[in-house]
Structure 1
Amino acid sequence: MESKAPQQSAAWIGPLESAVEESLDGLFKLRRYLHQHPELSGEEFETTTHVARLIEGLPLPLRIADQRRGLTCELLAPDAASNLPRLALRADIDALPIQDAKQVDYHSTRDGVMHGCGHDVHTTMLYGALRVLHQMASRDQLPWPIAVRGIFQPAEETAVGARYMILNQALHDVAAIIGIHCDPSRSVGRIGISPGPLTANCDMFKVKFRGRGGHGARPHQTIDPIDAATQWVQSVYRSVSRAFDPHEATVISIGRFEAGNKANVIPDHAVLEGTLRTFHSGARASALETIAKISEALTMATGCLVDFELGFSAPAVVNDPHLVDVVTHAAQQTLGDHAVEPIPRPSMGSEDFSYYLEHIPGAMFRLGTCSEQIGQEPLHSPHFDIDQRAIAGGVRLLAATVIEYFDPHRNG
């Protein structure tokens, strides 16, 4: 869709900038608090309660999800009709099972748990955007009615949180959705966004190998599941990578291998867990067919029963072109003409944001969070951190995207 530049943008840019600056100290403190108190997927009770208190303090009406993990809130202003379709802004709130290795005063206080993917930052920026928009509304600084649904989602890392929030009516009366993700490969003040595919389909799987255990000195009397499992890995790695056009990206990776508990005992079972990532349904189906054939052949060759189980999966995130245009224009106004960097090819990573897109159009963008001094460690690193100046840019951009989205000149 061709961009229609809003004609009243100059009237609200200044008040938005002022509201962001007034909020920054509190937002920096919030992000550090969240970083110090991470909670794993499925355990986000304290985080939900903390965010709920902040939302109540604005005040905005909110609804906590049925397991008391995750919440939604509403911002209708100024004088927006109650039936005006919402634009949802989504942030994820869960952390990772990683030991925080940073030597900073805001490092995680919980052993083996840290915000290594920026979800504390996403949560802070969504709250900041709601705060700024609410403040502008109370000062009569918004140029036209807006209707925002804030979604603070648990369990993104386990790919179940988006569906859980959808079941909790998070998308009721929502017309479109915007997501944000930290990007340590981009500098503060830059965003990455493109229409079309942004991430890959991701299937999590488990493979169980059931053999016959015995003494390590007499392997001929056993059916060795470790031997079968290592053959399976090598065969699948080789076959999946060689069976497809190199332009048809397909990636399979094993992240867990568990077998046995004693050096001189061949166990009777072994377990592998991993992920299969593809962009297109045809490639996914072909990869799964290849895996099934390898599993069957290996059972015949070794006598070890191979049981392949598909677990949670997330489809690809596909950005809506119109919403990409909205975010792009908002970024140019708040971050500068050169802030937007097109993403040349999709990531093989995954995001359960994609489940929202099965119901409504949406777009996710990547926010630069690094500088020469800090923030260059990759996502999921025990040293992951951000240059906190990125928070201001993220809040500006989310708030501006809301205003741009509801511009009657753009929609009219």
Structure 2
Amino acid sequence: MRKPIHELVEAQYDFVVAMRRYFRTFPEIGGQEYGTQKKILSELKAIGLEPRQAAGTGVIVEINGSKPGKTVAIRADIDALPIQDEINQPYCSQHAGLCHACGHDGHAAMLLGIAKVFKAIQAELAGTIRLIFQPSEEQFPGGALDMIADGAMHGVDAVIGAHLWQPLEVGTMGITYGPMMASPDQFTITVQGCGGHGSMPYQTVDPIHVGAQIVLALKTITGSNLSANDLAVLSMGVFKAGDAFNIIPDSAVLQGTVRTFSQSARETIFACIDRICTGICSASGATYTLESCHGFPPVVNNPQVAGVVATVGKEVLGESQVVELSPAMVGEDFAYYQQQVPGCFMFIGIGNKAKGITYPHHHPKFDMDEQALAHGVEVMVSAALGLLK
């Protein structure tokens, strides 16, 4: 079946590229993917399938084989980011302030290509392929839970998904046989002090000084309170206070993120954050509030499913082109599907230094080597066929 699948994928390559460029040109953010959904529904109906709307702006469609068998789901996220597109390409975003700067345009396009390949071999299938076009991956709490509530995982035996990945060169694939991506949590600390004139700090409780001490102390948590075997990151992203050079403000706002792979590490870090804030604020005469938002669970690949994916990846791309990765500290709501059934998430390389495709995810000049789209389609089609067996 390898050669026919490769030929089918090659025959759909121009279509997949065209779809990717369409979605890049007309991006929509989570929960507002109305035009994206309309396009997906139209393309699926055009090839003789019967898709249905799901979870507001998502789509679910099945390709039922001529023989009974297992059900394998393949998921793609379809939402864009609130970023101004800065690529110098004809498919630059036409929606001001919105951009597919993460690769979801390619994910949606690949899944449409996968639909066309499976439709072409439908008579040979034993089992069912379910395709899940999911909205709102970029926004907490993510669109996966809504898709699951709308039946996306009902009767599914295994699920796979892929992320087009700029750190990997085109022609390569990355995978793990366990932890793949972390839980992305966030927190906000509001330090309440007492403002006053910059020339008389003794009359104030300076929230900037207090906040600075908190920031420095937070950076010691992972090294001092967790085992070296615990993968964890704590980073600060926001420190806002004051509006004038000579006025000590009343308050300061600090925001950061915590990335972990275990519930115990997550609990330890948040307990330490609270304890540090209590101690420093108490010693300084300030008060504080701590708000936390727990994100997706960690993405943890099922070893058996990952084994099937890795095997076909080596057949498609070459033995040396499939690499086992260290877990990434980014997050993905694909984890919710893996809580329902065994699953595997993979990275498909899209970087190409020779072509100047080097900008990272979430950068306004992010782009991809589109040859990766064919790699992703062929690997996922082949992996799904392997899992049906």
- For Structure 1 versus Structure 2, the TM-score category normalised by the shorter chain is over 0.9
**Structure 1 match to 2:57:** 69
CA pair 224-325 structure 1, distance change in 2 beyond 3 A: same
Alignment of 1:370 with 2:351, yes or no, is: yes
Q: What displacement does 1:227 show?
A: 2.5
Q: What amino acid is aligned across from residue 99 of structure 2 in structure 1?
A: M
Q: How does 1:25-40 map to 2 (within 5 A)?
A: 25-40=14-29
1:208 aligned residue (190, 211, 221): 190
SS of equivalent to 2:181: coil
Superposed CA offset, 1:64-103 (max 9, x none): 124x3212111112x244xx54211011111222222222
Call closer, same or farther: CA 1:283–1:105 in 2, change over 3 Å. Answer: same
Verify the 8 A CA contact 2:238 2:255 in the aligned structure 1. yes
Equivalent position amino acid for 1:357 in 2: Q
Query: Does 1:22 pair with 2:5?
Result: no
Give SS of 2:61's match.
strand
Once the two structures are TM-superposed, the CA of residue 201 in structure 1 deviates from its matched residue by 2.3
Worse-superposed segment, 253-262 or 158-167: 253-262
Whether contact under 8 Å (1:207, 1:272) holds in the other structure is: yes
**Is the partner of 1:149 in helix, strand or coil?**
strand
Counterpart mapping for 1:142-157 below 5 A = 142=124, 144-157=125-138
Residues 5-404 of structure 1 mapped to structure 2, 5 A cutoff: 12-66=1-55, 68-77=56-65, 79-81=66-68, 84-137=69-122, 140=123, 142=124, 144-159=125-140, 160-343=142-325, 345-371=326-352, 372-404=354-386
1:205-241 Cα offsets, whole Å, 9 max, x none, are 2222223334444433333333222221111112333
The SS at the match of 1:59 is coil
Q: CA deviation at 1:323?
A: 0.7
Cα distance in 2, alignment partners of residues 256 and 158 from structure 1: 18
CA distance in 1, matches of 2:226, 2:385: 44
Runs of 4+ in structure 1 over 4 Å off? none
Of all paired residues, the percent bearing the same amino acid is 35
Return the letter of the residue paired with 1:394.
Answer: G
Q: 396-405 or 42-51, which moves further after superposition?
A: 42-51
Measure how far apart 1:280 and its partner are: 2.4
Mean CA deviation greater in 187-196 or 326-335: 326-335
One-letter amino acid matched to 1:153: Q
Matched residue type, 1:302: S
Whole-Å Cα distance in 2 between the matches of residues 36 and 225 of structure 1?
Answer: 45
Distance 1:13 1:198 in 2: 28
Letter in 2 for 1:50: K
Q: What code does the residue aligned with 1:375 have?
A: I
Query: Aligned partners of 1:356 and 1:395: how far apart in 2?
Result: 20
Give the secondary structure class of the aligned counterpart of 1:314.
coil
- Describe the shift of the 1:374–1:57 C-alpha distance in structure 2 as closer, same or farther (beyond 3 A): farther
Partners of 1:213 and 1:267 within 8 A in 2: yes
The range that moved more, 170-179 or 368-377, is 368-377
CA distance in structure 2 between the aligned counterparts of 1:271 and 1:40, rounded to whole angstroms: 27
Deviation at 1:389, TM superposition (A): 0.6
RMSD: 1.9
Describe the SS at the equivalent of 2:9. Answer: helix
Counterparts in 2 of 1:87 and 1:188: CA distance versus 1, 3 Å: same
Report if aligned partners of 1:130, 1:399 keep a CA contact under 8 Å in 2: no
Q: CA–CA distance in 2 between the matches of 1:317 and 1:308?
A: 27
Contact 1:98/1:114 (<8 A) preserved:
yes
Mean Cα deviation higher: 200-209 or 22-31: 200-209
Alpha-carbon distance in 2 for matches of 1:111, 1:271: 30
Deviations 1:326-354 (A, max 9, x none): 112222333233332122x2111111111
Deviation at 1:34, TM superposition (A): 0.8
Could you list the runs of 5+ residues in structure 1 that have no partner in the other structure? Answer: 1-11, 408-412
Residue deviations 1:7-50 (CA, integer Å, cap 9, x gap): xxxxx223222222221112111111111122222322222222
CA distance in 2, matches of 1:216, 1:265: 5
- Aligned partner of residue 198 in structure 1, secondary structure: strand
**Number of residue pairs aligned between Structure 1 and Structure 2:** 387
Maintained 8 Å contact 1:200/1:278: yes
Within 1, Cα distance between the matches of 2:109 and 2:180?
23
